[in-house]
């Protein structure tokens, strides 16, 4: 909005050519169509009422409680990832409603209802060691109101296990596929379904695994289409992304 | 399906207890609910009528023609990525309808109509050097019947350019964000929209860029939620994934 | 063999206690049982009559001819890998029997018959781009007298293709599995067969493939048992190893 | 198997043209020759009676016991790798027959006899620090019924040690060669024997060893033929692969 | 200074053409203009009165005290980075004036006044987890006499937070920008200000972050001009560099 | 600026409580103190009159001309880096004033005078092979109006060369130090001067140099204080940063 | 030695043409001039009387004692590197003469005198944190009978410290130069002396140091001639190599 | 040298206590014993008469000639590495005495005699492809006046070849060992000789060789003592270092 445009509006207001309400509208128009930056504010407001997210890793129980208390006042639901049992014990003291999802390492606090989706997200793992990351994805997605179907331990070294669960996998609106080691499962799933696949490499493995690098590179270079990748062990990010897609 | 079950059905057919049509149904039931593997066939059939994809890179013009001819007989639409002008010249000779999207390096052949989406995909680049990859994504998405809005050269070093285009970006159902160098744009876009972001690192840059590694790592470790990543320069993969999501 | 032992034998010879033939035997015994190093010689002799191998890459046509001529005099069969059409043209001039396996990039010269195996090696590729490496493996194995079954383009992104060929794969005594990109195929094959799998990563792919690194790491961290890996694009090495195993 | 073929068989059964037994055969034929997928089942059945493998690392003693109990019911032999003395103590409580191979870190439970091979596997190490990985390989191979000859501490820096053991090495049907640091031993052994060599890099070393990377790369780029590589420290994988080859 | 020149001066002294004081001056002149190496001494002297720096990491409390005592005798101010509470407790015992900046992990001892700058340094972080590194930078800069403005938790995933603080950022003479994960903040700040930006990657993050590598590469390949980078987590180095620039 | 504040201003204008000019001022106040985002515009305006930068690498001569023509209309000075002689020939045709700095690979076009600095920047190289990058830095800095002193080929392997030039180096307000191979020069210079050092790693070297990685890591881990690093071969970035600092 | 040659000698012995002593000589001649392998034995014998080396890292005190006892029986001197105080306490119990060099982490046992060199080795470090590695080198060299001059903390960031010690450095027959961080010191020393320089990178540093990688790469790409490098932190290796050279 | 000392000398000169010649001596003494820096000059002078080295790579024939002409005036011998036939042709025009060592890629010009060593350097390669690097080392060493024995193609995959040459290898005063691929040869040689070994990794190989990285890491982590490493393909550096040691 140039100074000329600003002066024009003000003069019109002064001369009574337009009402104040009309002027306000004009400002809104500008912000929405020309400037963009006002959108920032809109956006922030839209966010009010949204769940709050805490990354628990490395925070003391006291710090956790402090943050949770602050957030609870806004009346929103709260999700804290990478939390220990100790952190939960502290939070439970100040908030009776707090739940602990042990395998996922997640603390959740529900202060208001979330609308549930009709369609579901399939959360699939190659091995049993990947279940911690899978639960982080699954609990995150459920927290945002998604139905989730867990399909665990169906890795490619015994591929008949995967085929037995194919109908369930194909029924999903979006798949989260979690694997360590060579990270081959998302490629196989991506070739069997026609839905978006969010691939999560895990650091499960040793040696040439290099803390998840082998699975990460494998997923990024997948020969199947419709596969996109999040960070190593990032179950939360996959659950969040899948929720975004499932709610479209 | 065990041998017992198989014998039971055959005996029922023989004895007239069930009709042949009923028996066929039973086989289908098994395949769909217990075995999974029959789904493979179903899936393959579903694919009939789907577009065919060719990865042009490294193929001689003769090889290209040979593949295209084979595919044209099925009557499907054809998309060939990473194609040179020489490859196109050869294909054009055997197929008048072939189009060449030069910046994208794509040859497309339309043999039947594709239904168009109402919602659109935003394809966004940080710099002008990323446009080749962006066009690969955009043309791919359009080929699958998606509306696409191109928003180019809005990188973070001059962030007002991005804000000017924010309303268009926020209007999209899914965003493809393409950047080289430090690959920061998907993080910023991810923080400004509430739609899924498919991030594409490009190999634009030099030195510590290491052929796109810096952008790739940057996008994988993005501090924004709702961002998933495809391979370096993989415009096609991003366009395919975005199309899958947009059509849900 | 200590000096004492040596003197003892010599004295026995001198005194006629043992014949010269017996003395020679004693030397052989020593070398075979105590010292080991004599085995080196034995081994070298055993090698006489063995095929000769040339690594063609980087050699001029003249150098190739020079080496081939030298080797032909020994009367052995000759295999030259990574050879260009130019190198072959030169070799053909000095040796009528030379054959060129174009896709494999191999020149072979047969000067004597090789016994053929009854069992076969399955050479399997994920994509069509991997066929060059596969042919290097297959032609190498055939050159050593192995039967080979080629099973190409059965990658994990369309896994029904693999299943159609399963009986052939399971009939092999050893499998060579070749894949680029994420290199997932050896894991899947390893889970479906109970024979040794030699995995060959290829540099097919781009971006996060890093010239075959993604496939290499994927194969090394394979979740299937009975899989061992050779160097990127090393079709010759895989064919050689498979031949060794097949001939046991 | 198309629907047409299915209907044809059913009608023949109904009309009495073929017996039920003949129909069942026809189904088997299809599965074995055309479809492949039925092989999956066959395969699974074949596996019944096979040993069960547990990867102990990261499992609590309770989890170990739980899994072992489940597996024991099938009556199979059980092998658990990467196990601590604590895990063994717990397992011993529920299973008297459990043995602990301390250096290998393996728990084994024998519930039925395994046929022993006539030929043997040579398990060779460069240094004394590699013996842990070597024992994992040796105990695994023995568990599967292979004879094993241990040849330890014959690394290339004192190559006369290797030569003293050459006859034993050459007598093996397959060699497992284990080395850390520069990982040179498999190349030397590969040049001295004409049997397959399974190379195992270990993480023994420091600095530019990078947790086994130097040995891994060295083995992958070995100048000797007939060498294939498994993951860093993967003694189990090498033992399994060697057993597969030894039993051909 | 050549031997001729040396002889000339000595002869002039001998002959009384120049006084000894003049001769000494000549030596000084030479050292300053021709030789350079004398500058080393000058420089060292200039340093007298400068603060002393200790890198605390890995030193025992006793070693710390020993070094501090030695340094205190020179009468200079002392700054010790990467110090634990235990190290501070020990130092406090021998020096009452010692202060501990806990978040920064810095012990400072002031023995004489430092002149304060009029202009200020902005120390900016992307997240709250980066504050430890930021405080190391800020306390270092303050210790050298700079005014510092702390602007924390304004990362790119919620870019409105950054804009709210823009006037303060633009008021600075030099900016220190600290970020982990994808390290995008320096690029954005570099595009919004026209002052030098010192970028500090932190090891905050996990997985593909690779202990700060992703942020480091991102900052080195920044698309914004006027950005230079120090080592991962090197808050002290950034504070020192910023101080140097601010005091020009 | 909230809607309430907006309405208040408009009403005051309408009621004549404040003049339009006063209202305009109020808007400006808001933008400068509360909102930040308006600063974006201010900033953009400030930039008017600033030089324009083109990254020449990969652009055709036609594209270069097209961009240059557009930019010339604004009347600003133009700097194009990484330009070939061919690109210059094309640009020269449409712009007589264009100069080519061959060693730097820079085209510059001066359309108006730039104020010259009193203080100078020292541009220092380790070897003669680094001079291309050094000239990119030096010409860039000169283009922005800085005095530059070139001190080339004073690398650490013959350190007396460096000492001979020390007085010139110490006279600079900021140093740009350029080195390939082990990149040790910035550490040595950083230890000898008390001015900021901008270090530029170059890709000069081979083998373990890994295209400049060794120099890059060396500079980032420099034991000297007051050193910050830009991307490999990024002479332009160093010249820009040094100019920013020199003009403070 | 061919069988023919062997028979010839035996027949000559039998016929009395040569004495047994002459025959033995002939065998020796063969081994020394033609075969080489006999040299292995010679060499091994030469080694008798040589010091014994133990790599202490990862060995229990009991294992240490066990090895030391075995070695003591041969009457040689013993050097054990990477040893803890606990390991020493145990060894001391069984061997009064054992000495502990704490900073070096070395246990030495002297059972016979070693001849002392006239020339000395200079062991030089960049910082005080490198002294542990330096002492490992120095004590190793002294143990082998070399005179050693320690020149510590003369890193390039304060290069006047190095110059003060130059005469001592130049007096050495060979230099061991130890540095972490950017590893620049060997380049500078290599440029100032005309003696061989053994460079030892240390893992001192953090962040982009990557556990010594930066120093390692820096030293390998040194611009000075006459510099060769050993593994990260490998003080023993450097001391051993320097001793070999000093004793030539 | 403190100011006091300087004044003292000057006063002694003035008073006639010492002659000017004595004073000059005192200055020399100081420089040699106390100051060090004067050594720089001494050193430089010592270098007069030394050969001159040119790194030819990347220089135009004209640049080569220009440098050679300059150097020839000093009357020293000249060695230029990494030179093409074209560069030599140009140099030959201006200097009749120039020789070209084609395999080594070296141009040498002899202007005065060099004293020859009695002892020799063994230059050893694993394969024939390493000979280029080996010749660079050998010709360099010969240029400096060393006797050189070439022992090529004795790699570890056929270790009997090495043993045949052992006596020659053991006769050397220092060994240069050159290998690509897994780089195992220096470890084996290091275990067989008791002389210093300079290891040179080459970039011979492909795939997991990563341009010589596998050989480099292998040599750095060698299990043999008395091995130090130079940069990948750095034949010149190895020849230079070996010459330094051989001439001690």
pLDDT digits (tens, 9 = 90+) for H203-225: 988 888 888 999 999 999 998 99
DSSP sequence for H117-135 = PSSEEEEEESSGGGHHHHH
Return the residue in F231, F233, F236, F237 with the most chain B beta carbons within 10 A, the one to mutate for interface testing: F231
Q: Tell how far CA F222 is from the center of its chain.
A: 23
G232 with D129: Cβ contact below 8 A:
no
B49 by Cβ neighbours in 10 Å (0-12 / 13-18 / 19+) ranks as exposed
Give the residue carrying structure tokens 């340093």: E47
Please give the residue of chain E at the shortest CA–CA distance from A58: E129
Return the residue in B28, B37, B193, B196 with the most chain A beta carbons within 10 A, the one to mutate for interface testing: B196
CB E231 within 8 A of CB F187: no
E108/E142 Cα distance (integer angstroms): 11
CB C218 within 8 A of CB C182: yes
Domains detected in chain B = 31-109 (no CATH), 120-246 (3.40.50.1970)
Q: Name residues whose C-beta falls within 8 Å of residue D9's C-beta, 6 or more positions apart in sequence.
A: D18, D23, D26, D27
Which tokens go with C119?
């069992």
CA–CA–CA angle D160, D165, D167 (5° rounding): 125
CA–CA–CA angle C210, C215, C217 (5° rounding): 90
Which pLDDT score, from 0 to 100, does residue F3 have?
A: 66
Residue G29 has pLDDT above 70, yes or no: no
CA–CA–CA angle E96, E99, E104 (5° rounding): 160
Which pLDDT score, from 0 to 100, does residue H27 have?
A: 67
Instruction: Spell out which chain H residues touch chain G, with contact meaning CB-CB distance below 8 angstroms.
Output: 32-33, 35-37, 39-40, 43, 46, 53, 162-167, 170, 173-174, 192, 194-196, 198, 216, 220-221, 225-232, 237-238, 240-241, 244-245, 248
**Percent of chain E surpassing pLDDT 90:** 55
Return the residue in G46, G48, G56, G232 with the most chain D beta carbons within 10 A, the one to mutate for interface testing: G232
pTM, two decimals, is 0.85
Spell out which residues of chain A touch residue F10, defining contact as CB-CB under 8 Å. 10, 13, 20, 23-24
Q: Kindly give the pairing relationship between strand A120-125 and strand A147-151.
A: parallel
D227 with C241: Cβ contact below 8 A:
yes
Which tokens go with G56?
């202490």
Residue G232 has pLDDT above 60, yes or no: yes
G206 with E41: Cβ contact below 8 A:
no
Question: What is the rounded average pLDDT for all residues in chain G?
Answer: 86
Q: Kindly give the pairing relationship between strand B197-201 and strand B227-229.
A: parallel
**Percent of chain F surpassing pLDDT 90:** 56
Please give the residue of chain D at the shortest CA–CA distance from G204: D207
Selected residue with higher pLDDT from B73 and F200 = F200
pLDDT digits (tens, 9 = 90+) for D60-112: 898 899 889 888 887 889 999 999 999 999 999 999 999 999 999 999 999 98
CB B117 within 8 A of CB B246: yes
CB C168 within 8 A of CB C151: yes
Please give the residue of chain D at the shortest CA–CA distance from G212: D207
Which pLDDT score, from 0 to 100, does residue D48 have?
A: 43
Nearest to B232 among C159, C160, C207 (CB): C207
- Give CA separation, E3 vs E33, H21, H34, H39, H194, in Å: 17, 11, 18, 14, 47
pLDDT digits (tens, 9 = 90+) for B113-132: 889 999 999 999 998 889 99
Instruction: Spell out which chain D residues touch chain G, with contact meaning CB-CB distance below 8 angstroms.
Output: 129, 159-160, 163, 206-209
Which tokens go with H17?
């206590």
Residue D134 has pLDDT above 60, yes or no: yes
Alpha helices per DSSP H over D49-130: 61-72, 85-94
Spell out which residues of chain G touch residue D206, defining contact as CB-CB under 8 Å. 57, 231-233
Q: Chains E and H: how many Cβ contacts under 8 Å?
A: 32
E7 with H14: Cβ contact below 8 A:
no
Please give the residue of chain E at the shortest CA–CA distance from H2: E41
Spell out which residues of chain B touch residue C160, defining contact as CB-CB under 8 Å. 40-41, 43-44
Please give the residue of chain D at the shortest CA–CA distance from G55: D129
Question: What is the rounded average pLDDT for all residues in chain A?
Answer: 86
Indicate the DSSP class of residue A199.
E
Give the minimum alpha-carbon distance from B215 to chain F in angstroms, rounded to a whole number. Answer: 14
A247/H96 Cα distance (integer angstroms): 82
Which of the other chains make 3 or more beta carbon contacts under 8 angstroms with chain E? A, B, F, G, H
Strand (E) or helix (H) holding D52: strand D52-55
SS3 E123: strand
Q: Tell how far CA A127 is from the center of its chain.
A: 22
Nearest to D163 among C36, C165, C230 (CB): C36
Return the residue in D232, D235, D238, D240 with the most chain A beta carbons within 10 A, the one to mutate for interface testing: D232
Which tokens go with A68?
């949770």
Which pLDDT score, from 0 to 100, does residue G31 have?
A: 38
D121/D176 Cα distance (integer angstroms): 7
Give the minimum alpha-carbon distance from H23 to chain F in angstroms, rounded to a whole number. Answer: 25
**Percent of chain G surpassing pLDDT 90:** 55
D213 with H208: Cβ contact below 8 A:
no
Which residues, given as ranges, of chain E have pLDDT below 70? 1-3, 27-50
Which pLDDT score, from 0 to 100, does residue D10 have?
A: 86
Which tokens go with B119?
């919602």
Give the minimum alpha-carbon distance from F11 to chain A in angstroms, rounded to a whole number. Answer: 7
Indicate the DSSP class of residue E207.
G
Spell out which residues of chain A touch residue F25, defining contact as CB-CB under 8 Å. none
Summarize the confidence of residues F221-247 as an average pLDDT: 95
Which pLDDT score, from 0 to 100, does residue A220 have?
A: 95
- A85-94 vs A61-72: helix axis angle to the nearest 10? 40
Residue C38 has pLDDT above 80, yes or no: no
H248 by Cβ neighbours in 10 Å (0-12 / 13-18 / 19+) ranks as middle
Count the neighbouring beta carbons within 10 Å of the beta carbon of residue G70: 10
Which pLDDT score, from 0 to 100, does residue D2 have?
A: 57
Please give the residue of chain E at the shortest CA–CA distance from A214: E208
Strand (E) or helix (H) holding G55: strand G52-55
Q: Which of G225, G215, G211, G141 is nearest to G176 (CA)?
A: G141
SS3 A48: coil
Give the minimum alpha-carbon distance from A37 to chain F in angstroms, rounded to a whole number. Answer: 7
pLDDT confidence of D206, banded at 50, 70, 90?
A: confident
Q: Chains E and F: how many Cβ contacts under 8 Å?
A: 117
Which pLDDT score, from 0 to 100, does residue E58 have?
A: 83
Nearest to C6 among G3, G24, G40 (CB): G24
DSSP sequence for chain H = --HHHHHHHHHHHHTTSS-HHHHHHHHHHHIIIII-HHHHHHHHHHHTTS-EEEE-TT--HHHHHHHHHHHHTTT--EEEES--HHHHHHHHHH-TT-EEETTTTEEEE-SS--PPPSSEEEEEESSGGGHHHHHHHHHHHHHTT-EEEEE-S--GGGTHHHHHTHHHHHT-SEEEEEE-TT--HHHHHHHH-SS-EEEEE---S-GGGTTTHHHHHHHHT-SSSSEEE--TT-HHHHHHHHHHHHT-
B219/A179 Cα distance (integer angstroms): 20
Residue B42 has pLDDT above 50, yes or no: no
SS3 B82: coil
pLDDT digits (tens, 9 = 90+) for H46-90: 444 567 889 898 888 988 998 898 888 878 899 999 999 999 999
C203 with H207: Cβ contact below 8 A:
yes
Summarize the confidence of residues A98-110 as an average pLDDT: 96
C188 with A219: Cβ contact below 8 A:
no
Spell out which residues of chain H touch residue D215, defining contact as CB-CB under 8 Å. 218, 221
Give the minimum alpha-carbon distance from A139 to chain D in angstroms, rounded to a whole number. Answer: 23
Which pLDDT score, from 0 to 100, does residue C49 have?
A: 52
Which pLDDT score, from 0 to 100, does residue E185 have?
A: 96
C29/C10 Cα distance (integer angstroms): 15
Look up the ipTM and state it: 0.82
SS3 D93: helix
Q: Name residues whose C-beta falls within 8 Å of residue C65's C-beta, 6 or more positions apart in sequence.
A: C90, C91, C93, C94
E/B Cβ contact: 3+ pairs below 8 Å: yes
Alpha helices per DSSP H over C15-130: 20-29, 37-47, 61-72, 85-94
């Amino acid at each position: 909005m140039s100074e000329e445009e600003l002066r024009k509006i003000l003069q019109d207001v002064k001369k009574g050519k337009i009402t104040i309400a009309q002027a306000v509208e004009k400002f809104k128009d500008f912000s929405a169509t020309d400037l963009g930056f006002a959108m920032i504010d809109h956006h922030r407001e839209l966010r009010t009422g949204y769940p709050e997210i805490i990354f628990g890793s490395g925070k003391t129980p006291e710090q956790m409680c402090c943050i949770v208390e602050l957030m609870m006042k806004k009346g929103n639901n709260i999700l804290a990832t990478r939390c220990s049992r100790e952190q939960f014990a502290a939070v439970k003291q100040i908030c009776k409603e707090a739940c602990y999802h042990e395998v996922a390492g997640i603390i959740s606090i529900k202060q208001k209802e979330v609308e549930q989706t009709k369609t579901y997200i399939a959360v699939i793992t190659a091995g049993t060691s990947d279940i911690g990351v899978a639960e982080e994805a699954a609990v995150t997605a459920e927290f945002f109101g998604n139905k989730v179907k867990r399909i665990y331990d169906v890795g490619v070294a015994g591929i008949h296990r995967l085929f037995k669960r194919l109908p369930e996998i194909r029924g999903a609106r979006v798949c989260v596929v979690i694997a360590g080691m060579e990270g081959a499962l998302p490629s196989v799933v991506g070739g069997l379904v026609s839905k978006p696949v969010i691939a999560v490499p895990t650091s499960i493995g040793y040696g040439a695994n290099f803390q998840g690098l082998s699975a990460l590179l494998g997923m990024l270079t997948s020969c199947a289409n419709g596969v996109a990748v999040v960070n190593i062990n990032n179950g939360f990010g996959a659950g969040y992304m899948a929720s975004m897609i499932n709610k479209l």
